[in-house]
Amino acid sequence: MRRIAEFLPLSLALLVILSVSGRVLGGQISVIRPACVANIQPGDRSQGSRLIAKFDLSAVGTDRQIDFAKLIFSARIGAMEGAAAVVRLEVFPLTRDWEQSAVGWNTPWSEPGGDIDSTERSTNWVTVTNTPPLWLDVTRLARTWKAGERANYGVLLKISDLTPARFQTIDIGAVELKVWHHARSDP
């Protein structure tokens, strides 16, 4: 079972990269560094830390169609004693704007830990022995930002509340959004 868990993310990644919406990925790849990024955690450490990041998609021109987008980050994950070696990562769109210089567990949020749209979620299963970089598919979210269908306040990344694990470290300097895109006139 552990072997399957280790290779499942890789096999899914290959499947997604080779064909998205029925087409082989081509065109251009843009690597976008976050405009703002922070690691927030509760003062009492009752919950695990969370990564928040905001990306400016202007590098993907208005005449471009997004084929695939993935959030890439570097983190070490530690499972609680007796817990499974597989954890579920989740990324959610933030629903409130924030500034890197004035963000914390309770600020500027109405909900501690960040205001999110819990109905729009992307997940990925990783083993605690996975080495960075780790990633999650955020194609649908990037498309809604680009189309102006959702305000781009960024994303919140966390380990699922159902998984007894926590981030041991998160390298906020290694966060990026990689976007595959093509001209709208391409077949």
- The structural domains of the chain, ordered by start, are 2-183 (2.60.120)
Cα end-to-end span (Å), the chain: 41
Tens-digit pLDDT profile for the chain (187 aa)? 444 444 444 444 433 444 444 445 668 999 999 999 999 988 877 678 899 999 999 989 989 999 999 999 998 887 776 666 788 899 999 999 999 999 999 999 999 999 999 999 999 988 877 677 899 999 999 999 999 999 999 999 998 888 778 888 889 899 999 999 999 875 5
Q: In sequence order, which residues have a C-beta less than 8 Å from that of residue 120 and are 6 or more positions away?
A: 92, 93, 140, 141
- Two tokens, residue 117: 């749209």
Would you state the pLDDT for residue 186? 55
Q: What letter does residue 11 receive in the DSSP assignment?
A: H
Would you state the pLDDT for residue 25? 60
Would you state the pLDDT for residue 139? 97
Would you state the pLDDT for residue 83? 62
**H/E run at residue 15:** helix 2-18
The residue length of the chain stands at 187
Would you state the pLDDT for residue 182? 94
Would you state the pLDDT for residue 185? 79
